[in-house]
Amino acid sequence: MATEEHALTASEYVVHHLTHLNNTGHAQENIVDWSVINIDSMFYSITLGLLTIFLLWRAAHKATSGVPGRFQGAVEVMVEMVADQAKGIVHSAESRKFVAPLALTVFVWIFLMNAVDLVPVDLLPRIWEGVYAAGGGDPAHAYMRVVATADLSAALGMSVGVLLLCIYYNIKIKGFSGWVHELFTAPFGSHPLLYPVNFAMQMIEFTAKTISHGMRLFGNMYAGELVFVLIALLGSTATVFGFVGHVFAGTLWAIFHILIITLQAFIFMMLTLVYVGQAHESH
Amino acid sequence: MNLNATLIAQLVVFFILAWFTMKFVWPPIVKALDDRAKKIADGLAAADKAKADLTLAEKKVVEELRKARESAGDVRTSAEKQASHLIDDARAEAGRIIAAAREAAEAEAGAAAQRAKETLRDQVAHLAVAGAEKILRREINAQVHSELLANLKQELQ
C-alpha cells in the first residue's frame, strides 16, 4: 500500500479496509442483497473452519486413555470445559450428543476467526493487493477483510443456525402441536384474548435472541477491527508522536483484544448452549 | 455492514463443521477421557486393596512372629529339660562308676594288704625261726619245734 498511501485520505483508507471482497468486485450497494457473497469472509471462515476440525481431529485421532501429551491435554481441557457446561445447561443426553460437539466447534472456530484480528491490519490485505495487481487488477479495488466474524452476514449466519437448532429441538422435544400451543399460551397464560400477545412476545423473543446473538459477536469484532485500523492510521502520520502512539496503543489494544476474542468466542458458545437448553424447557 | 448470501453459506459451513466434530472428534476424545477416568478409578481401588492387603499381611507377620517366639520358647524349655536330664543321668552314672571303681580299688587294696600281711607273717616266722636257730643252734631242733612255730604263726594271724 506504500505506493498508494499518499493518494488515500484517511477516510478512504478506512473505507477501503472495511469493504468486503465479493463476487461483484465493488462494494455492496443495497443493505440486503442475496445475490452477493463475500469471498473474503467465506475464504477465512472455511479455511479456519477446516483448521479447527483438523486440529480437533488430530487430537481425537491420537487420543489415548494413557498419559496425554500437551496438545491432547489442551484439547481435552477444552472438551471437558464444553462438556461440563453442556451438561449443566442442556438436560438431555441425547441432544448433548450433537449440541456439545457443536459448541466445541463454535468455540474454537470463532476463536480462530477472531484471532485473525491480531494479525497486523495491513499485512494480509497488502499481500492480496500484490497478488491482485500481479493478476492484472487495479490494486485500489483489491478489497480484503480478514476477520470473518466482523462480517454481519457471517455472524448472523451462525446465530440463525442456532435459531434453526432451537426450532428443531422445540419441535423434537415438545412435538409440533405442543410447540405451537406453547407459542400461543406462554408466557402470559392460556386465554383466547392473550393468544396474540403471547405469540407476539414469542416472536420478539426469538428475533431478539438471534439478532443479539449474532450482533454481539459482530459488534465486538467490528469495533476491534476498526480500532486497529485507526491505530494504523495514527502510525501512518509518520511523526514521532504517531509512531510512539501506534506502538503504544497498538500493543495495549492487541493485549486487551486477546481477552475480547476469547471472551466473545466463549459467550457465543455459552449462548448457543443456553438457547438450545431453553428450547428443551417448557414455559 | 450489509446482509448477503454469505449468511446462508456461513450457516451451511457452521452445520458441516459441527457435524464433523460430532462424528469424528467428540466420541474418541470423550471415550479416551472416560477410559482414563476408569483407569484412574481402578488404580485407586487397586491401591486401596493393596493397602488393606499390606495391613493384613503385617498382622499375619506379627502373629507368625509371636507363634515362632512361643514355639522357640517351648523348644528351649524342653531342650533345657532334656539337657538337665542328661546331666543328671551322667552325674548318676559317674557316681556309680566312681563307687564301683572305689569298691574295686578298696577290694584290691584289701587283698594286697592281706597278701602283704601273710608274706610278712611268713617272713617274720622265718626270721624268728632263723634267729632262734642261730641263737639256739644245737639245742633246738627245727623239726621238734616246727609245731610250736606253727602255733605261733597261727596266733599272729
Distance CA A214, CA A42 (A): 16
What Å distances lie between residue A210 and A61, A152, A205, A214, B18, CA to CA?
A: 35, 12, 9, 6, 18
Cis peptide leading into A139, omega within 30 of 0? no
Residue B144 placed within a domain: yes
Q: What is the mean pLDDT of residues A140-165?
A: 91
Give the residue from B26, B35, B8 showing the smallest Cα distance to A99: B26
Report the length, in residues, of chain B: 157
Helix (H, G, I), strand (E, B) or coil at B3: strand
Closest Cα in chain A, distance from residue B48 (Å)? 21
Q: What is the mean pLDDT of residues A239-256?
A: 90
Distance CA A158, CA A170 (A): 18
pLDDT of residue B101 exceeding 90, the answer is yes
Give the number of other CB atoms < 10 A from CB of residue A7: 9
CB contact under 8 A, A106 and B14: yes
pLDDT tens, position by position, B136-152: 776 656 676 777 778 87
Instruction: Give the pLDDT band of residue A204 (cuts 50, 70, 90).
Output: very high
Chain B residues touching A28 at Cβ < 8 A: 2, 4
pLDDT of residue B135 exceeding 50, the answer is yes
The bridge status of strand A32-33 relative to strand B3-4 is parallel
Q: How far apart, in Å, do the first and last CA atoms of chain A sit?
A: 57
Q: Which grid coordinates are listed for B152?
A: 605261733
Give the residue from A266, A39, A273 showing the smallest Cα distance to A153: A39
pLDDT tens, position by position, B57-76: 999 999 999 999 999 999 99
Residue B1 placed within a domain: no
> Which domain, by its residues, includes A127?
2-279
Give the residue from B67, B149, B62, B157 showing the smallest Cα distance to B118: B157
pLDDT for res A155: 94
Chain B residues touching A97 at Cβ < 8 A: 22, 26
Q: CB distance from B20 to chain A under 8 Å?
A: yes
Q: CB distance from B7 to chain A under 8 Å?
A: yes
pLDDT of residue A3 exceeding 70, the answer is no
**DSSP result, A202-263:** HHHHHHHHHHHHHHHHHHHHHHHHHHHHHHHHHHTT-SHHHHHHHHHHHHHHHHHHHHHHHH
Closest Cα in chain B, distance from residue A34 (Å)? 5
Residue B52 placed within a domain: yes
**DSSP result, B58-87:** HHHHHHHHHHHHHHHHHHHHHHHHHHHHHH
What DSSP designation does B139 have? Answer: T
Q: CB distance from A51 to chain B under 8 Å?
A: no
Residue B46 placed within a domain: yes
Phi, psi dihedral angles at A26 (to 5 degrees)? -135, 170
CB contact under 8 A, B9 and A37: yes
Average pLDDT, chain B: 89
Give the residue from A53, A78, A57, A82 showing the smallest Cα distance to B17: A53
**DSSP result, A76-118:** HHHHHHHHHHHHHH---HHHHHHHHHHHHHHHHHHHHHHHGGG
Helix (H, G, I), strand (E, B) or coil at A148: helix
Burial, A170: exposed, middle or buried (Cβ in 10 Å; 0-12, 13-18, 19+)?
Answer: buried
Report the length, in residues, of chain A: 283
Average pLDDT, chain A: 89
Helix (H, G, I), strand (E, B) or coil at B4: strand
Amino acid at B46: A
Q: Which grid coordinates are listed for A24?
A: 461483484
Instruction: Count up the domains in chain B and report the number.
Output: 1
pLDDT tens, position by position, B105-118: 999 999 999 999 88
Higher pLDDT, B152 or A110: A110
Instruction: Count up the domains in chain A and report the number.
Output: 1
Active centre residues of A (catalytic): 212, 216, 220
What DSSP designation does A138 have? Answer: -
Q: Which grid coordinates are listed for A111?
A: 476463536
Angle between helices A93-115 and A70-89 (to 10 degrees): 130
Q: CB distance from A105 to chain B under 8 Å?
A: yes
> Which domain, by its residues, includes B48?
6-156
